[in-house]
Structure 1
Amino acid sequence: MSEFHCLHGPCPQIPDNLTVPQFILDSQHPTRPLRKDGTPWLIEDATGRGIGFEELRARTFGLANALHLHWGIKEDDVVCIYGSNHVDYPVALWAVHRLGAIVSPANPTYTVGELHYQIETAKATLVISHPDSVSNAVDAARLAGLSADRVIVFDKLRQPSPISFPVLDDLIAEGLSRHPLFVERTLNPGEGKTKLAFLSFSSGTTGKPKAVAIPHHSLIANVVQMSAYYKVNEPYTTWEKRRFKPGDVGMAVLPFFHIYGLVVNLHWLLFTGLSIVVVPKFTFVEFLKSIVKHKISHLFLVPPQVVLLCKHHEVKHYDLSHVRFVLCGAAPLSAELTQQLVKVLPNASIGQGYGMTETCTTVTMIPLTQHIGTPGSAGQLLPGVVARVVKQDGSLAVAGEQGELVVTGPQMSLRYSNNAEATKETFVNGWVRTGDEVIIDDKGDVFVVDRLKEIMKVRGFQVAPAELEGHLLAHHAVADACVVGIPDDYSGEIPLAFVSLRADAVEQLKLHPKDAEKIKASICKHVADHKVQYKWLAGGVEFVDAIPKNPSGKLLRRLMRDRAKELKERKDFKPKL
Structure 2
Amino acid sequence: MAEILASKDDLPYIPDDVLLPQFLLDMHHPLRPVRSAPQAWLIEEATGRKVGSDELRARTHGLANALKLCWNVGEDDVACIFSPNHVDYLVVMWAVQKLGGVVTTSNPMYTSEELAHQLELSKARLLFVHPAMLAVATQAAHTVGLPYDRIVLFDSIPTSPHPNLQELIKFGLGSRQEYTERRLKPGEARTKLALLLFSSGTTGKPKAVMVSHYGLVANIVQVAQYIKPTDESVPSEWRRFHVGDVSLGVLPFFHAYGLHFVLFFGMFIGMTVVVSPRYSLERMLQSIQQYKVTHLWLVPPQAIMICKSSIVKNYDLSSVQMVACGAAPVSAELTDQLTKVLPNALVGQGYGMTETSTMITMCQLDKRTGTPGCAGFLIPGVEARVFKADGTLAQFGEPGELYLKSPSLSLGYYNNPKATAETFQDGWLRTGDEVKLNKNREVFVVDRIKEFIKVRAFQVAPSELEGHLLDHPDVADVCVVGIPDDYSGELPFAFIVLNHSARVRVEGTPQEKATVGDSVMKHVSDHKAHFKWLGGVEFVDAIPKNPSGKLLRRVLREEAKAMLGSGRLSTLAKAKL
- Tell me the TM-score normalized by structure 1: 0.97
Conserved in 1, the CA contact under 8 Å of 2:238 and 2:366? no
Q: Residue 530 and residue 567 in structure 1: after superposition, are their counterparts in 2 closer, same or farther (change >3 A)? A: same
Structure 1 partner of 2:285: 288
Q: Measure, in 2, the Cα distance between the counterparts of 1:342 and 1:56.
A: 36
Deviations 1:346-380 (A, max 9, x none): 11011001011111101011032332121111101
Q: Which runs of 5+ in 2 are unaligned?
A: none
Q: Secondary structure at the match of 2:124?
A: coil
Structure 2 partner of 1:311: 308
Structure 2 partner of 1:264: 261
Larger CA deviation: 88-97 vs 3-12: 3-12
Q: Measure, in 2, the Cα distance between the counterparts of 1:47 and 1:332.
A: 34
Conserved in 2, the CA contact under 8 Å of 1:115 and 1:140? yes
Deviations 1:321-369 (A, max 9, x none): 1100111001111111111011001110110010111111010110323
Q: Measure, in 1, the Cα distance between the counterparts of 2:183 and 2:501.
A: 65
Deviations 1:394-426 (A, max 9, x none): 111121111001001100001101111111111
1:388 is aligned with what amino acid? R
Q: Secondary structure at the match of 1:444?
A: coil
Q: Secondary structure at the match of 1:290?
A: helix
Residue 206 of structure 1 and its aligned partner are, at CA, apart by 3.5
Q: Residue 227 and residue 322 in structure 1: after superposition, are their counterparts in 2 closer, same or farther (change >3 A)? A: same
Conserved in 2, the CA contact under 8 Å of 1:206 and 1:454? no
Structure 2 partner of 1:407: 404
Structure 1 partner of 2:84: 84
Structure 2 partner of 1:145: 145
Structure 2 partner of 1:170: 167
Structure 1 partner of 2:67: 67
Residue 16 of structure 1 and its aligned partner are, at CA, apart by 0.4
Residue 207 of structure 1 and its aligned partner are, at CA, apart by 3.1
Larger CA deviation: 561-570 vs 119-128: 561-570
Deviations 1:13-41 (A, max 9, x none): 10001110010111111111101332100
Structure 2 partner of 1:279: 276
Q: Measure, in 2, the Cα distance between the counterparts of 1:298 and 1:511.
A: 57
Q: Measure, in 2, the Cα distance between the counterparts of 1:346 and 1:322.
A: 10
Conserved in 2, the CA contact under 8 Å of 1:6 and 1:382? no
Q: Secondary structure at the match of 2:487?
A: coil
Conserved in 1, the CA contact under 8 Å of 2:238 and 2:365? no
Q: Secondary structure at the match of 1:498?
A: strand
Alignment of structure 1 residues 4-83 onto 2, 5 Å: 4-5=4-5, 10-83=10-83
Conserved in 2, the CA contact under 8 Å of 1:196 and 1:213? yes
Alignment of structure 1 residues 346-495 onto 2, 5 Å: 346-495=343-492
Larger CA deviation: 5-14 vs 327-336: 5-14
Conserved in 2, the CA contact under 8 Å of 1:201 and 1:211? yes
Larger CA deviation: 528-537 vs 547-556: 547-556
Q: Secondary structure at the match of 2:251?
A: coil
Residue 5 of structure 1 and its aligned partner are, at CA, apart by 4.5
Residue 250 of structure 1 and its aligned partner are, at CA, apart by 0.7
Conserved in 2, the CA contact under 8 Å of 1:7 and 1:381? no
Structure 2 partner of 1:337: 334
2:569 aligned with 1:547? no
Larger CA deviation: 31-40 vs 4-13: 4-13
Q: Residue 542 and residue 431 in structure 1: after superposition, are their counterparts in 2 closer, same or farther (change >3 A)? A: same
1:211 is aligned with what amino acid? A
Q: CA RMSD in A?
A: 1.5
Alignment of structure 1 residues 226-265 onto 2, 5 Å: 226-237=223-234, 242-265=239-262
Q: Secondary structure at the match of 2:310?
A: coil
Among candidates 558, 563, 573, match of residue 554 of structure 2: 558
Report percent identity of matched pairs.
Answer: 55
2:3 aligned with 1:3? yes
Deviations 1:543-574 (A, max 9, x none): 01111222332212122112112211113543
Conserved in 2, the CA contact under 8 Å of 1:197 and 1:215? yes
Q: Measure, in 1, the Cα distance between the counterparts of 2:171 and 2:514.
A: 57
Structure 2 partner of 1:298: 295
1:75 is aligned with what amino acid? E
Deviations 1:239-297 (A, max 9, x none): 57521010111110001000000100000000000111000111110110000000000
Q: Measure, in 2, the Cα distance between the counterparts of 1:510 and 1:110.
A: 36
Q: Secondary structure at the match of 1:415?
A: coil
Q: Measure, in 1, the Cα distance between the counterparts of 2:38 and 2:526.
A: 48
Q: Measure, in 2, the Cα distance between the counterparts of 1:311 and 1:289.
A: 17
Q: Measure, in 1, the Cα distance between the counterparts of 2:554 and 2:52.
A: 52
2:205 aligned with 1:208? yes
Alignment of structure 1 residues 315-326 onto 2, 5 Å: 315-326=312-323
Q: Measure, in 1, the Cα distance between the counterparts of 2:548 and 2:200.
A: 23
